[in-house]
Structure 1
Amino acid sequence: MGKEDLRKGMILSLEKIGWLERNRTENDLHDHLFESDLWNNAVSIGVTVSSDREWDTRTIIERAWDEGKTVCVPKSIHETKDLHFYEISSFRQLEKGYFGLEEPLPEKTTRREPEDLDLMIVPGLIFTPAGYRIGYGGGYFDRLLAGFNKPTVSLLHSNQIVESFPIEPHDVPVDFLITEQGLKKTGLDQ
């Protein structure tokens, strides 16, 4: 089965999760993240603003602000498939952008380099235990992660983990997975 078929199947599967289970899962994901050294050691966080079908990151952003952390949100640069990160201090500094995602308004924010970030929270749909991921199909995060040397983590339901899928040369795994069951270091030996 190709990545596109896997992607479509997982989207359908996630849409079937009821409100109560979704809420419980998000609370568990947030608790595991906030209790982790990854979170507690980070001063600056790179994170996307979640859409309705993704696991909530607004709570994460608000918690970061409450704790005095710097929050940087990516803006997609379509010509180069790059992500430019901008520091935000309010959701009012966002606009609907690519695929309806909320992205920073460059004129109301300050651009930050990825190497200035202590932790990157990476979105995705499907994951292997080794941390490889299938995202939403743009390849933006794989390009970014190829040169990012700080910790990376993804938030997901345990049902989003599969044994394997075709890994391509440009695919870059994340370092940690957080599910409703807890945080786990990834790696080929896992």
Structure 2
Amino acid sequence: MPTKTEQRKLLRQHIRQLRQQLSPAVQQQAATALATQVLALPQLATCQHIALYLANDGELDTLPLIQALWQLGKTLYLPVLHPFAAGYLVFVQYQQHTRLYPNNFGIAEPLPECHRLAPVKQLDMIFTPLVAFDAAGNRLGMGGGFYDRTLAQLPTDSHCQLIGLAHACQQVDDLPCESWDIPLQQIITPEQVLKF
């Protein structure tokens, strides 16, 4: 019987292969459908400061959503590897003219300039990438723990909504969870909005 760590590793490999096999046409349709799902969220009207991510490794593409949120006048932020605290993220304002640079993992991110940073507790909504999820709102990330460590800083009474974005093929029956995993309040796929 594989250990929980081994189970999580195997699951990551399997789901990453599934989403990497999605054709560009399917990815494009999924990105457009995702934007439609998010724009229909009733709570979006009261959210101004929104963090999301740029797709990598077959993740659900957020560019159509980003464009739509900019058109609504929302202030957007991208996750950036913390320059001083290893294993953590900071959120940096992202505008149409913001220059991006590859980080240590080859993921594009803006420079962590102080005047563009938003403390995690000031964000109204954080859209997270994920590798796999289950029907209880549990999220399996890439294994670095960056989001779990960063989101653990939120106070228990935080107004910030944690929402995962994923393709439907990333859903599994039951995730082998660890004590440090931060569950999500919602997961949105191109087909549905799951609330927990």
TM-score after normalising by structure 1: 0.89
Q: Partners of 2:46 and 2:195 in 1: how far apart?
A: 16
| Structure 1 position 139 matched with structure 2 position 151 | no
| Structure 1 position 181 matched with structure 2 position 185 | no
Structure 1 window deviating more from structure 2 (167-176 vs 59-68): it is 59-68
Point out where structure 1 has 5 or more consecutive residues left out of the alignment. none
CA RMSD of aligned residues (A): 1.8
SS where residue 105 of structure 2 aligns? Answer: helix
1:55 shift after superposition? 1.0
| Structure 1 position 62 matched with structure 2 position 67 | yes
SS where residue 163 of structure 1 aligns? Answer: coil
| Structure 1 position 115 matched with structure 2 position 125 | no
| Structure 1 position 17 matched with structure 2 position 2 | no
Is the 8 Å Cα contact of residues 38 and 119 (structure 1) preserved in structure 2? Answer: no
1:30 maps to amino acid: A
Is the 8 Å Cα contact of residues 49 and 123 (structure 2) preserved in structure 1? Answer: yes
2:81 maps to amino acid: S
Q: Partners of 1:5 and 1:83 in 2: how far apart?
A: 25
- Once the two structures are superposed, the pairs formed by residues 12-161 of structure 1 within 5 Å of their partners are 12-51=17-56, 53-77=58-82, 79-90=85-96, 92-107=98-113, 110-148=116-154, 149=158, 150-161=160-171
Q: Partners of 2:67 and 2:35 in 1: how far apart?
A: 12
SS where residue 183 of structure 2 aligns? Answer: coil
Question: Structure 1 residue runs of 4+, over 6 Å off?
Answer: none
Is the 8 Å Cα contact of residues 93 and 109 (structure 1) preserved in structure 2? Answer: no
TM-score after normalising by structure 2: 0.87
Percent identical pairs in the alignment equals: 27
2:65 maps to amino acid: I
Q: Partners of 2:114 and 2:64 in 1: how far apart?
A: 22
Instruction: Identify which of 166, 169, 172 aligns with 2:179.
Output: 169
Q: Partners of 1:14 and 1:82 in 2: how far apart?
A: 26
Q: Partners of 1:109 and 1:43 in 2: how far apart?
A: 17
1:153 shift after superposition? 0.8
